Structure formats: structure tokens, C-alpha cells
Structure 1
Amino acid sequence: MPPPFKQSFLITGLAFSAGLGLSGSCQAQSIEVPNGLPEVPHVVYPEVGLPNFTVPAGTVQQIGGDGKVIQTTQPVSTGSDSLQTLYSRSWGYQAADNASSLGVNPAALAATCQVESGCQNVYTATGSGHTITGAFQMANGTYSEEMSKALASNPGLASTITSGTAGQQDPATQAVAAAQYMKEEAMTLQAQGISNPTALDTRAMYNFGSHAGAQVAQADDSAMMSDFISSTAMSNNNISSGTTVGEWRQSTANKMGTGASAPVLQS
């Protein structure tokens, strides 16, 4: 029997060799695991933008200094810079409502107000011979006549206006008569072949009377203003003798703002 120390050495050597073999075998079959989660594709979904849309017209509350609601409706209308001027006045929303109740576009009313007075409640009457006054610059006779027609067609307006000629200096009241006048002018032009009269189309009638105004509305741009209105009317309105209809239209449209192209009658 070999000495004990040789047996011990042999067993130890075998164990060491087996350990090396086992270790080599484990290393050959092992896999490397990356630090952290493996990389995977990330799908990106681009955000879809909002489509074009029109904000629907709603209502606006106008609040007085005492906290009470004065006005809750905002008439639907063609956009107009003069319309914004009208709405900026304390009486503007009521004037627009009154026009709408007669079937008149508030933007067209505002364009007329803009060119007449800058939508200011001006007092320009100088006596019985000259009673033209107010935001819409109406004479007492025309105002009273048109107001009577408006109230006959819509009696409910009586509760919103100032009675008598005192209403001339209440712009929301005067707007009723002005809108009625514009409505009649537009209907006259429709009967004469202008299918959808604008504020500019009716402007000459409001300014120079129905007969001459209708002629101007239907005239070519190259025609002379002096062919249709008197020299006195031209002088009173700062229109020179050489002014063409087209030049007058452009000058007037500039004063009326974009509301000049607004249809007078609401569809």
C-alpha cells in the first residue's frame, strides 16, 4: 500500500483536475447577460393636429357696473371692423339686436353708423330747418316715418325704444329707424336687379335719396357722379366735379370698413 501522503496527493490532484474541467465546461456553456433591459424598437406615434374648424357663434353677457346682466345675446353677423366699433359702444349690442329683429345684418348697420358718425352719438341738429342728428344722422321727418314702419312690422320693438323724436339721441332707438330705411333701400335694389345688395350698394340711397341713389348703385365705375346728383349735393358731401362713381365707391368703402361689402338683408 502506498504511503498515505501519496494517496492524499492523488485525491487532491484529481479533485483539482475535476474542478478545472467543471469550470471549463461551465464557461463554455454560459451566456452573457447585458446590464439592464435589452434594447427593443420603440414605436413613435406622431400627434395628429387639430383640423380646421369654425368656432360657432355663441352668446355674450354684457355686465353693468352694478353687476347686473344688461345684454346676453350677440347677433350672428358677417365680420366687420366697423361692427367691432359698434359693439364697443354701450348701446351697440342693443342696436344690433334691433336691426336683426327687422332682418337687417348688424354688420351693414355698423358700416352705415361708421361712415355717418364714427358710431358716436353726436348732436348736430341746428334748428327746425336742419334736424339731422344722432349716430345714424337722420332728419326728424325720415326718422319718424321709418320708425312707424318698423313698429308696424314688429310691434315688440316698442318696449325697447325711446318714444317720440327724443329717440333721435338714443342710438339704439335710432338704429331701428335706420335699419328699416336700409331694408327698404335693399328691397328696392333687389327689385331693380341687384340680387343681394350690400351696405355700399345702399349707401348712395341713404346719402342722396332713393331715386339718385339707386342710379348710382347701378352705374358703371367709369360714370361721373355729377350725372346723378346735384352740384349742391356734391358740394355738401365734399365730392369734386370730376369724381367718378368708382372713385366715390372706393372712398366710401374705405370709410365704412370691411362692413361695406356686408349684405344688408339677413338670409
Structure 2
Amino acid sequence: MPPPFKQSFLITGLAFSAGLGLSGSCQAQSIEVPNGLPEVPHVVYPEVGLPNFTVPAGTVQQIGGDGKVIQTTQPVSTGSDSLQTLYSKAWGYQAADNASAIGVNPAALAATCQVESGCQNVHTANSSGNTITGAFQMSNGTYSQEMSKALADNPGLATSITSGTAGQQDPATQAVAAAQYLKDAAQSLQAAGVTNPTALDTRSYYNFGPLAGKRIAVASDDAPMSDVLTSYSSDQLAKNGISAGETVGQWRQATANKMGTGANASVLS
């Protein structure tokens, strides 16, 4: 007499067959989830002098660069994981690899990306002469200069980036120039006596330029920002999100909150 017939059931995902009596053991359920977080919609940000409009989320900050002050939005929150924000982007791991090739800590790059744009590839250049754009909010002049430095030291990167100023809108490519600028900032601060510059230390250099950046980085917490940024008018300070009487320490804390967990990451790896 043949042995009793034993039924076998395969259960996949979360689908179950109703009404079937299962005896013995069954195969374990298998649930597949997407790898990483989805890209968020890319939003357009207003420029100074244009009518304001409402963006979905974020805090408005005026950022100065190359002597210009522009308006951007920072869709980030206090204590956010800046490196995870970077890695959630399709281009995030390549950007991190490019930074590492230059000798810059990806966590510091991520903190800069987060405070600049929330790691969104925004297009803020316009026909009025403003060329600051992209995930790392760089002007064409600074981008081209820093890219030349980076490629001179790391020619192998040329095969994996978008050439010319078109690279401004390719975040993984723009990350090369941004990382080089962070490296310049860190080395400049080391020469000024800052032993191990962090992303927060280099933020003033990236935001206000080399001279003002060094002055802020070595200033005491109780020094008024207006005393350090002596070339900025009260209106320019306000447009950069600096209130009347704000101290360097207050600016550092507010900036660290926007940069997230990478704020205290060493820049040089």
C-alpha cells in the first residue's frame, strides 16, 4: 500500500489561501521592501527680488556666496541623520565615493548638502546672472575653480563625472567640487589653528567665503556676528538669517541643528 499523500503549500509574501487546513510546518514568509528611501519631489526656490511663494516644507535661509546673497530653503529638521539623507538619493553613494577619493569625510559632505538644499537637486540659477544652483548650491565660478583643483589631484575622477558646467546639475559630479571646497576650508582652518576642522567649523567658510569663514571659525561664542562680519550691512545679515545681536555661539547652534548629525564630523578623512 503506497504511503499517505502529504500536501505541500507554498506561502509567499502576505498572501494566504483561505479554507485550507495546514498540517505540519510551512515555509517562512518572505517580505521584500524597497532598498532605501524614495526621492522626494524637486521644488523650485524663489530668488531675491522675486515674489515669494510657499514651498512644501523647510526653513527659508538667505545664503551669501561670491559676494551675492540669494534665497534658498532648507527642508531639514533638528537632529536629522544627514548621512542617511544623502544615501537615500540615487546619486548619494557615488557622491560619497567621490568625496572619499578627494580625502573628505562623506558625513561632512552630507551635512553640507543637507544645510544647502536638503540634499535635493534644486535649480536656482536664473537669467539675472545668479549661477548658484544644485544640491550643493555652488556658483559656476567656484564650481569650475574647485573642480579644476580636484581633477588635478585626482585625474581618475574625470571618467565618472559630467564635464563642463553641466555638471552643476549632476549632484554626484557637483559633489566633487563641493568636497574640494570643504577640503580647502579645512586646510585653511588648520593653518589658522583649528586642529581638526568639522563640518560646522567649515560652514562659515563655505557660506561667507575664506576670510569671513576663518574669522567666524576662530571667534569666541559670545562674539556678536555683526562684529565678525564687519563687511556685511544689517540688511545683509538679516538676509543671511542672522538676527540683530545674534552671537557666534547662537549661530553655531542654529547651524548645527540644520546640518543634523554630520555637523560635528571631521572634514578630512
TM over 0.5, shorter chain: yes
Output aligned runs, 1:56-67, within 5 Å: none
Per-residue deviation at 1:84? 0.3
- Whether the 8 Å contact between 1:98 and 1:172 is mirrored in structure 2 is yes
- What is residue 238 of structure 1 aligned with on the other side? 241
Gaps of 5+ in 1: 1-61, 64-79
CA distance in 2 between partners of 1:132 and 1:195 (Å)? 31
CA distance in 2 between partners of 1:128 and 1:164 (Å)? 21
- What is residue 180 of structure 2 aligned with on the other side? 180
Q: Which has the larger share of helix?
A: 1
CA distance in 1 between partners of 2:154 and 2:94 (Å)? 15
Query: What's the TM-score once normalised by structure 2's chain length?
Result: 0.68
Using CA pairs below 8 Å that are at least 6 residues apart, which structure has the higher relative contact order? 2
Of 245, 255, 259, 1:256 maps to 259
- The aligned amino acid for 2:257 is N
- What is residue 148 of structure 1 aligned with on the other side? 148
Per-residue deviation at 1:233? 3.7
Q: Any idea what the Cα deviations from partners look like across 1:42-76, whole Å, max 9, x if unmatched?
A: xxxxxxxxxxxxxxxxxxxx89xxxxxxxxxxxxx
Calculate percent identity across the aligned residue pairs. 74
CA distance in 2 between partners of 1:156 and 1:224 (Å)? 44
- What is residue 59 of structure 1 aligned with on the other side? none
Output aligned runs, 1:23-38, within 5 Å: none
- What is residue 160 of structure 1 aligned with on the other side? 160
Secondary structure of the equivalent of 2:85? helix
- What is residue 94 of structure 1 aligned with on the other side? 94
Report whether the alignment pairs 1:115 with 2:115. yes
- What is residue 105 of structure 1 aligned with on the other side? 105
CA distance in 2 between partners of 1:86 and 1:142 (Å)? 22
CA distance in 2 between partners of 1:120 and 1:127 (Å)? 21
Q: Any idea what the Cα deviations from partners look like across 1:5-53, whole Å, max 9, x if unmatched?
A: xxxxxxxxxxxxxxxxxxxxxxxxxxxxxxxxxxxxxxxxxxxxxxxxx
Per-residue deviation at 1:128? 5.3
Q: Any idea what the Cα deviations from partners look like across 1:107-165, whole Å, max 9, x if unmatched?
A: 00000000000000000011252100000000000000000000000000001100000
CA distance in 2 between partners of 1:181 and 1:233 (Å)? 23
- Whether the 8 Å contact between 1:122 and 1:133 is mirrored in structure 2 is yes
CA distance in 1 between partners of 2:193 and 2:245 (Å)? 28
Q: Any idea what the Cα deviations from partners look like across 1:158-212, whole Å, max 9, x if unmatched?
A: 0110000000000000000000000010000001111100000000000000000
CA distance in 2 between partners of 1:127 and 1:183 (Å)? 31
CA distance in 2 between partners of 1:139 and 1:233 (Å)? 19
CA distance in 2 between partners of 1:82 and 1:195 (Å)? 24
- The aligned amino acid for 1:259 is G
- Whether the 8 Å contact between 1:208 and 1:233 is mirrored in structure 2 is no
- Whether the 8 Å contact between 1:104 and 1:183 is mirrored in structure 2 is yes
- The aligned amino acid for 1:219 is A
Runs of 4+ in 1 over 4 A off after TM superposition: none
Root-mean-square deviation over aligned CA pairs: 1.4
Report whether the alignment pairs 1:134 with 2:134. yes
CA distance in 2 between partners of 1:126 and 1:145 (Å)? 20
CA distance in 2 between partners of 1:108 and 1:184 (Å)? 13
| Structure of higher CA gyration radius | 1
- The aligned amino acid for 1:87 is Y
CA distance in 1 between partners of 2:182 and 2:160 (Å)? 20
CA distance in 2 between partners of 1:184 and 1:238 (Å)? 25
- The aligned amino acid for 1:140 is N
